Structure 1
Amino acid sequence: MELRTLRYHSLAVAILIFIFFIINTLASNLVVPTRYTIDKTSPMYLDHAYYIDKTKNKTFDDIITQPDLLTYAHFSEIPWSFTQQNYWLFLDLENKSQKNQKVVAHFDNPMADHLTIYRLDENNQILQTYKLGDREKKLTLFQYSVPHINFLMEQKSTQRLVIKIDTVGISKTPINLYRDKEFLDLMRSQTGIWGIFAGVLLMAALYNLVLYFGIKDRVYLVYIGYIISALILMGIVLGFGFYLWPLEWQLFFHHKVIVSNYAVSFFTLAFCTMFLRYHKDKCWRYTMSKALLYLMFILGVASFFIPENIAAPLFFCVLALLYVACSILIYKKLRSGFRWAKFYVFSWVPLILGALIQPLELTGVIDYSFTSRHAFLVAILCEIVLMAMALADRVRYQRERALYHATHTQQTKLLNSSKLKQAFMALQSQNRSTTLCLIKICHFNSLNTIITSTQGYTLIKHIAERLENELMHEREFANLETDLNNSPRLADLNSGVFACISTKTQNSDILKTVLAKVISNLPKQYEIKGLSLQLNYTIGISSANQSNDFEYWLKRGYLALKDAKGRVDRVASSAVNNNIIMDVSLAAHLQKAIKTNQLALYYQPQINLVNNQVTGAEALLRWPDPTYNNISIEELITLAEHTGIINELTLWVIEQACKDIVELINSGHKEHTISVNLSAKNLAINNLAEKIENILIKHQAPAHLLKFELTESAFVESQNVLIKLVDELSALGIKVVLDDFGTGYASLSYLVNYHFSELKIDKSFVFDLVNNPAHQVIVQTSIDMAHQLNLSITVEGVETQEIHQLLKQMNADRAQGYLYAKALPYPEYINFLKSQYSLKMLDSSF
Structure 2
Amino acid sequence: MPSGAGRPFVTRSAVGTAAANVNEAGSSQPRERSHALPYHLLIALVSILLIVWLWPIGVMLHHRDTLFPVSLHTLTEFGAIAVALLVFAVAWFAQSPGQPGNVVLIGCGFLAVGLIDLGHTMSYKGMPVFVTPADPEKAIHFWLVARYVAAFTLLAAALRERPPITSAWRRRAMLLAAFGGSALVYWVNLDRAHWWPRTFIDGQGLTPFKVVAEYGLIVVSGIAAWGFYRHGGARGGSYSNADLCTACLITILSELCFTLYANVNSVFSLLGHLYKIGAYAYIFRAIFVTSVRDPYQRLSVEVQERREAERRVEFLAYHDVLTQLPNRALARDRLVQAIADARRHHTVVALVFLDLDNFKTINDSLGHARGDALLQAVARSLVENVRESDTVCRQGGDEFLLILKGLPDVEAVGPIVSKLLEALSAPIDLDGVSLTTSASAGVAVWPSDGQDFDALLQCADTAMYRAKEEGRNGHRFFDENMNRESLERLTIRQGLRKALDAGEFLLHYQPQVDLASGEVVGFEALLRWMHPQWGLVSPARFVPVAEESGLIVPIGSWVIHEACRQAAAWERMGLPPVVMAVNLSAVQFKRGDLEAVLGAALTEAGLPAERLELELTESLLVDDPQLVRTRLLSLHAMGVKLAIDDFGTGYSSLSYLKRFPVDRLKIDRSFVSDVVSDPDDDAIVRAIIQLAASLGLRTTAEGVETEATREHLQRLGCDELQGYLVARPMPAEDVPDWLQRHVARRA
1:577 to 484, 504, 510: 484
The answer to whether the Cα contact below 8 Å between 1:758 and 1:793 also exists between their aligned partners in 2 is yes
Letter of the 1:772 counterpart:
D
Contact 2:79 2:277 in 1 (8 A): no
Any idea what the Cα deviations from partners look like across 1:44-90, whole Å, max 9, x if unmatched? Answer: xxxxxxxxxxxxxxxxxxxxxxxxxx99623835999xxxxxxxxxx
Which of 671, 674, 680 is the aligned partner of 1:768? 674
Corresponding residue SS for 1:709: strand
* Partner in structure 1 of residue 313 of structure 2: 399
Separation (CA, whole Å) in 2 of partners of 1:750 and 1:307:
84
* Residues 368-403 of structure 1: per-residue CA shift (max 9 Å, x gap): 9xx998797454554344323212211122224424
CA distance in structure 2 between the aligned counterparts of 1:676 and 1:544, rounded to whole angstroms:
45
Measured in 2, the distance between the counterparts of 1:720 and 1:380 equals 66
Q: Which residue of 1 aligns with 2:172?
A: 142
Q: Who is 2:300 aligned against?
A: 386
* 1:522 CA drift (Å): 8.5
- Secondary structure at 1:765 match in 2: helix
- The 3-state SS of whatever aligns with 2:530 is coil
Query: SS of 1:652's equivalent?
Result: helix
Given residue 577 of structure 1, which amino acid in structure 2 is its aligned partner? R
Pair 1:514–1:735, CA change in 2 (3 A): same
SS at match of 1:74: helix
What is aligned with 2:698? 792
Counterpart residue number, 1:110: 108
Q: 1:793: Cα distance to partner?
A: 1.4
**1:558 and 2:464 aligned:** yes
Alignment match, 1:309: 245
Amino acid at match of 1:387: V
The equivalent residue for 1:217 is none
Aligned with 1:515 (options 396, 404, 413) = 413
Q: How many angstroms does 1:806 deviate by? A: 2.4
Change in CA separation of 1:832 and 1:717 when aligned onto 2, cut-off 3 Å: same
Would the aligned equivalents of 1:600 and 1:624 in 2 still touch at CA under 8 Å? yes
Segments of 5+ residues of structure 2 without an aligned counterpart are: 3-67, 81-103, 124-130, 163-168, 197-209, 222-226, 251-274, 366-370, 428-436
CA distance in 2: counterparts of 1:365 and 1:462, whole angstroms? 63
Cα drift, residue 455 of structure 1:
11
Correspondence 1:290-301 to 2 at 5 A: none
Residue 74 (1) aligns with residue 104 (2) = no
SS state of the match for residue 484, structure 2?
coil
Distance 2:297 2:500 in 1: 68
Letter in 1 for 2:482: A
Structure-2 change in CA distance of 1:457 and 1:762 (3 Å): same
1:498–1:820 Cα change, 3 Å: farther
Task: Report the Cα distance in structure 2 between the residues aligned to 1:497 and 1:107, rounded to whole angstroms.
Answer: 64
Q: Is the 8 A contact 1:657 1:674 kept in 2?
A: yes
Of 357, 363, 371, the residue aligned with 2:279 is 363
Q: Is the 8 A contact 2:381 2:424 kept in 1?
A: no
Question: Are the counterparts in 2 of residues 608 and 815 from structure 1 also a CA contact under 8 Å?
Answer: yes
Give the superposition deviation at 1:587.
6.7
Comparing both structures, which one devotes a greater share of its residues to helix? 2
Shift of 1:815: 1.9
In the superposition, the TM-score normalised over structure 2's length comes to 0.55
Q: Partner of 2:704: helix, strand, or coil?
A: coil
Cα RMSD between the aligned structures?
6.5
In the TM superposition, residue 771 of structure 1 has moved relative to its aligned partner by 2.1
CA distance in 1: counterparts of 2:373 and 2:220, whole angstroms: 63
Letter in 2 for 1:309: C
| Superposed displacement of residue 761, structure 1 | 1.0
Q: Residue in 2 aligned with 1:782?
A: 688
- Quickly say closer, same or farther: Cα 1:495–1:307, change in 2 above 3 A: closer
| Residues 786 and 793, structure 1, Cα contact 8 Å, conserved in 2 | yes
Aligned match of 1:600 in 506, 510, 514? Answer: 506
Give the residue type in structure 1 aligned to 2:172: F
Q: Could you tell me which of 809, 815, 825 is aligned with 2:721?
A: 815
Mapped partners of 2:425, 2:591: distance in 1: 48
For 1:262, the equivalent position in structure 2 comes to: 236
Q: For 2:170 and 2:566, how far apart are their aligned partners in 1? A: 98
Counterparts in 2 of 1:372 and 1:545: CA distance versus 1, 3 Å = closer
Q: Does the 8 A contact of 1:683 with 1:721 survive in 2? A: no
Taking the aligned partners of 1:821 and 1:682, their CA distance within structure 2 comes to: 29
Q: 1:830 to 1:558 in 2, by over 3 A?
A: farther
Check whether the contact 1:438–1:561 (CA below 8 A) recurs between aligned residues.
no
Question: Any conservation in 2 of the 1:603–1:618 contact (CA below 8 Å)?
Answer: yes
Give the distance between the partners of 1:421 and 1:456, measured in 2 at CA: 21
In 2, distance between residues paired with 1:526 and 1:552? 24
Please give the secondary structure, in 2, of the residue aligned with 1:616: strand
Q: Which segment is superposed worse, 816-825 or 804-813?
A: 816-825
Q: 1:773-821 deviations in whole A, cap 9, x for unaligned? A: 1221221233244345443211113344442342233342222234555
Are the counterparts in 2 of residues 600 and 623 from structure 1 also a CA contact under 8 Å? yes
Secondary structure at 1:669 match in 2: coil
Residues 142 and 258 of structure 1: CA distance in aligned 2, closer, same or farther (over 3 Å): farther
Going from structure 1 to structure 2, the CA distance change for 1:521 and 1:112 (only over 3 Å counts) comes to closer
What is the distance in 1 between the residues matched to 2:377 and 2:707? Answer: 60
Q: How does 1:284-363 map to 2 (within 5 A)?
A: 309=245, 363=279
Change beyond 3 A, Cα 1:577–1:168: farther
3-state SS of 1:148 partner: helix
CA distance in 2, matches of 1:641, 1:361: 90
Q: Secondary structure at the match of 1:770?
A: coil
For 2:111 and 2:230, locate their aligned partners in 1 and report how far apart those are by CA, in whole Å: 12
Instruction: Kindly provide the amino acid, as one letter, of the partner of residue 144 in structure 1.
Output: M
Q: Give the letter aligned to residue 148 of structure 1.
A: F
SS at match of 2:483: coil
1:760 Cα offset (Å)? 0.9
What residue is the counterpart of 1:618 in the other structure?
A: 524
CA contact (8 A) 1:607 1:615 kept: yes
Aligned partner of 1:741: which letter? F
Tell me if structure 1 keeps the 8 A contact 2:504–2:529. yes
**Corresponding residue number in structure 2 for 1:675:** 581
- Cross-structure match for 1:58: none
Q: Which string of whole-angstrom CA distances, capped at 9 and with x for unpartnered residues, describes residues 216-251 of structure 1?
A: xxxxxxxxxxxxxxxxxxxxxxxxxxxxxxxxxxxx
Give the counterpart letter for 1:771 in structure 2: S
8 A Cα contact 2:244 2:282, kept in partner: no
What's 1:476 paired with? none
Q: Which runs of 5+ in 1 are unaligned?
A: 3-69, 81-105, 172-252, 266-299, 315-358, 469-485, 505-509, 530-534
Structure 1: distance between partners of 2:362 and 2:640 = 45
Asked if the contact 2:575–2:736 (Cα under 8 Å) also holds between the matched residues in 1, the reply is: no
Taking structure 1 as reference, are residues 74 and 604 closer, same or farther at Cα in structure 2, changes over 3 Å only? farther
Larger Rg: 2
Return the TM-score normalized by structure 1: 0.49
Aligned sequence identity (%): 21
- Secondary structure of the 1:363 match is helix
1:576, distance to aligned residue in structure 2 (A): 1.6
1:74 alignment partner AA: T
Q: Secondary structure at the match of 1:577?
A: helix
Query: C-alpha deviations, 1:653-690, integer Å up to 9, x for none?
Result: 22121111122223443323221123444444446445
Residue by residue, what CA displacement relative to the aligned partner does 1:405-435 show, whole Å, maximum 9, x if unpaired?
Answer: 418x72xx66565644566799999xx9997
- Residues 134-533 of structure 1 correspond to what in structure 2 (within 5 A)? 141-145=171-175, 147-149=178-180, 151=183, 262-264=236-238, 309=245, 363-364=279-280, 377-380=291-294, 382-403=296-317, 405-406=319-320, 410=323, 415=326, 419-420=330-331, 436-438=351-353, 467-468=386-387, 487-489=389-391, 491=393, 499-500=402-403, 513=411, 515-516=413-414
Matched, 1:743 2:649: yes
Give the whole-Å Cα distance in 2 for the aligned partners of 1:167 and 1:644: 91
Q: Summarize the Cα distance change of 1:513–1:603 in structure 2 as closer, same or farther, 3 Å threshold.
A: farther
Give 1:756's aligned amino acid: V
Contact kept? 1:664, 1:672, Cα under 8 Å = no
